[in-house]
Structures are given as structure tokens and as C-alpha cells.
């Protein structure tokens, strides 16, 4: 049985926080592989600041030393950017694997808005990393209350004080 982590997003831009979450996931979950899945556009956000090509390049650059991390783009193959469609695709291609869907506590707050989130939570164990200002909201969220508690796991991690939105603001100065 292989353990595969799925950490998706627009990564607009990628930063050391993404790398820290990736390496911590591999270590704490004993993952055989971690897929950093870049989407062309986050459905909950405006147009990306950096091009898909730039984001892919930067992610590959910051993760190149870790052989267990694979940067991937599935929107074209799957004809969708929805996480449920990507997970269904991966399940067909990877028999005998257990999947872990990795996200920050900020994403868990809005997880109920994701397409087929209930089915997604049945297909993958949800792994939640701490994000400053979101942990209590996540634990009180509609999603957390509705999900089976054995399907969600909170990971203790040192707070990551960097975000893609902070970096984009710097570029706009």
C-alpha cells in the first residue's frame, strides 16, 4: 500500500511555507510521494498574478532537492480544475494507494463550498495544517462539524508567517 499526499492550489506564487508543509507532510504521514498540484486558477480567487508557467517553474525550483515531491498540472488531462475530478483521475491511475488531501486551516473553513466535498472526504483523509488566525474558525466550521472526525487530522506545525497574498502585495508596491 502506497501513501500519496495531494497538496493543490494556485501557488501564486509558491513560497517556503508551501515547502515546509510539503516536507512536514512527507515526514509526519510517511508519504511515498507528495503531488503538488498546480491549478491554472483558484475558483475562489481572482485571476492569478503569476503565469502558470512561472508558478510551475518556481515550485519545481524550490522542491527539486526532495525526490518525493512531484510538481504536477492536471487541468488539461482531467479537463477540470476541480479537486474531486483530479482525485478520481488519480484513483484510477493509482490502485492500492491511500490518498491524503493536504490543506491549511483556512481552506477547511471553506471546504463545504468545494465541489462534492463529502465524496472527496470519503476518498481522501483530510490533513489540516495550522494557518495563523484560522485554526479556531476551522474547528468551529460547518465542514468540520459535518465531517466524520476520523476523516480529518490536524497537524501540529510551527506557524508559517508567509502567504502568497503578502508576496503579491510586495510586487504591487
DSSP string, 5-25: EEEEE--SS--HHHHHHHHHH
Average pLDDT over residues 4-18: 90
**Cβ-based neighbour number of residue 136 at 10 Å:** 10
Whether the pLDDT of residue 42 is over 70: the answer is no
The proportion of the chain whose per-residue pLDDT surpasses 70, expressed as a percent, equals 88
Give the torsion sign (CA, 125, 131, 135, 140): negative
CB 162 within 8 A of CB 16: yes
Is the pLDDT at 164 greater than 90, yes or no? no
Query: What's the mean per-residue pLDDT of the chain?
Result: 87
The candidate with the shortest Cα–Cα distance to 117, out of 46, 43, 10, is 43
pLDDT of residue 50: 86
Q: Do 7 and 22 touch, CB atoms closer than 8 A?
A: yes
Q: What is the pTM of this model?
A: 0.89
- Residue 134, pLDDT score: 85
Mean pLDDT along residues 54-66: 93
Confidence band (pLDDT; 50, 70, 90) for 130? confident
Report pLDDT for 8. Answer: 93
State residue 172's pLDDT score: 52
- pLDDT range class, residue 73, cuts 50, 70, 90: very high
- Is residue 26 within 8 A of residue 129, CB to CB? The reply is no
Amino acid at each position: 500500500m502506497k501513501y500519496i499526499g495531494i497538496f493543490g492550489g494556485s501557488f501564486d506564487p509558491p513560497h517556503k511555507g508551501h515547502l515546509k508543509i510539503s516536507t512536514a507532510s512527507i515526514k509526519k504521514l510517511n508519504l511515498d510521494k507528495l503531488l503538488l498540484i498546480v491549478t491554472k486558477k483558484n475558483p475562489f480567487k481572482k485571476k492569478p498574478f503569476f503565469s502558470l508557467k512561472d508558478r510551475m517553474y518556481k515550485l519545481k525550483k524550490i522542491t527539486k532537492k526532495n525526490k518525493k515531491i512531484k510538481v504536477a498540472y492536471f487541468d488539461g488531462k482531467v479537463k477540470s480544475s476541480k479537486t474531486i475530478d483530479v482525485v478520481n483521475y488519480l484513483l484510477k491511475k493509482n490502485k492500492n494507494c491511500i490518498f491524503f488531501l493536504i490543506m491549511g486551516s483556512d481552506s477547511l473553513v471553506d471546504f463545504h463550498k468545494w465541489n462534492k466535498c463529502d465524496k472527496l472526504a470519503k476518498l481522501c483523509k483530510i490533513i489540516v495544517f495550522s494557518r495563523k488566525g484560522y485554526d479556531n474558525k476551522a474547528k468551529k466550521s460547518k465542514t468540520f462539524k459535518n465531517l466524520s472526525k476520523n476523516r480529518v487530522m490536524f497537524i501540529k506545525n510551527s506557524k508559517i508567517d508567509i502567504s502568497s497574498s503578502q508576496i503579491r502585495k510586495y510586487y504591487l508596491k
